[in-house]
Structure 1
């Protein structure tokens, strides 16, 4: 079939990109880690071409940096970057609700709401249990579907990118806490109910409270030059 090899390579490219993205988010490929196309190709038992394309995709998402003559490196984010991510998340979601939420929610199907509600329940359970690995997957799916209900595909993609970067910064810090039960935000279901009731004001308040929670939790875990050392 004409083009079948291209389709196969594109599929392999996306599979490798998704697998590597998961490794970066989970911290198994930590910030600053360097690697080459050959290393990843050997790891997955594939040719260099789809690996190179997958790595370039991750570079375009802001997850990797290209190092001349040295390959690729997992991007390192700072606390200042994280604060900017939170601000971006807040502005995106506030703008999304303010601009089109009521109209979009009126058109949302019961199936779409049921799906995002399931994601919310799973994410909330994982958060309460302190199961970070399970939470990350459901949380990212939840926000992708939530943005799909009240936004447009471009906004949804941009929000997903910022959320992924937020997790990359926070995961190593959160793992250092050990027992995470009761410490992670678990208001996904509350947000879904506000959205289902078309209560845009309540939904905005929940999102703002969530972002404050994120900053407060990470603020105490991040060493920064502006803090005076304890004596």
Structure 2
């Protein structure tokens, strides 16, 4: 019966909305590593019941963004530089697999060319934000860029895994980047990776080796920047 699933669907949607909102709070630096909160506090903040909030927090805990404490509620997970290094290595391996598959099966998709054009537009916006040092805009477009690019692979599980991995790597990096941006009017212009469109062009020209080199340079650039900022 159509009406029987209504409340469950609404609750599921609300849970996802809360999870997305809290994830964005972490990415924006408004929820900082180690910061603690309870289900009751979040429920009151968003004006909702405790059940979808608890489900959202458990979901974010499973993704590694939060830590659960049986007696004190939840807190934002504190990532280390070793965590970040591991994330970069993992996402590089996943990206290589996606690139190889795209090169092998790209011609089987009649809309592959159009899809890459769409992804390239996201890359242009991400690159523009990176050059301007606009971290908020960059994170949004970068996540969309990689989500759409990985979706071309046709494996939703792999695409979702890479997306969650990239969210975690941004959460790990954003603490250092925002601290630098706030420190004495620190400017991030020209310091953020901005070769998104070159990556799309390499794939469009069926050059997985070139794509691999671009991503390897991306990871090296990101790690070097975060290590320098952490040392400061």
TM-score range, shorter chain: over 0.9
Q: Give the drift of 1:151.
A: 5.6
Aligned to 2:129: 126
Which region of structure 1 is more displaced relative to structure 2, 76-85 or 142-151? Answer: 142-151
Q: Check conservation: 1:105, 1:195, Cα contact below 8 A.
A: no
Aligned to 1:173: 176
Mapping of residues 56-205 of structure 1, within 5 Å: 56-98=58-100, 100-108=101-109, 109=111, 110-150=113-153, 152-177=155-180, 178-205=186-213
Residues in 2 aligned to 1:186 and 1:107: alpha-carbon distance in whole angstroms? 30
Seen in structure 2, the aligned counterparts of structure 1 residues 151 and 218 have a Cα distance that, compared at 3 Å, is farther
Residues in 1 aligned to 2:154 and 2:216: alpha-carbon distance in whole angstroms? 18
* CA offset digits 1:184-228 (Å, max 9, x no partner): 00000101111112211111111111111111111111139xxxx
Aligned to 2:227: 219
Q: Check conservation: 1:41, 1:47, Cα contact below 8 A.
A: yes
Q: Check conservation: 2:40, 2:50, Cα contact below 8 A.
A: yes
* CA offset digits 1:54-90 (Å, max 9, x no partner): 1111111111111011111110000111111111111
Aligned to 2:11: 9
For normalisation by structure 1, the TM-score amounts to 0.92
Q: Which has the higher helix share?
A: 2
Structure 2: which 5+ residue stretches go unaligned? 181-185
Seen in structure 2, the aligned counterparts of structure 1 residues 152 and 96 have a Cα distance that, compared at 3 Å, is same
Residues in 1 aligned to 2:217 and 2:45: alpha-carbon distance in whole angstroms? 42
Q: Check conservation: 1:104, 1:149, Cα contact below 8 A.
A: no
For normalisation by structure 2, the TM-score amounts to 0.92
Which region of structure 1 is more displaced relative to structure 2, 100-109 or 113-122? Answer: 100-109
Which region of structure 1 is more displaced relative to structure 2, 86-95 or 102-111? Answer: 102-111
Structure 1: which 5+ residue stretches go unaligned? 225-231
Seen in structure 2, the aligned counterparts of structure 1 residues 151 and 76 have a Cα distance that, compared at 3 Å, is farther
Instruction: Report whether the alignment pairs 1:45 with 2:47.
Output: yes
CA RMSD between the two structures: 1.4
Residues in 2 aligned to 1:217 and 1:104: alpha-carbon distance in whole angstroms? 35
Q: Check conservation: 1:101, 1:151, Cα contact below 8 A.
A: no
Residues in 2 aligned to 1:79 and 1:194: alpha-carbon distance in whole angstroms? 30
Q: Give the drift of 1:118.
A: 1.2
Seen in structure 2, the aligned counterparts of structure 1 residues 142 and 77 have a Cα distance that, compared at 3 Å, is same
Moved over 4 A (4+): none
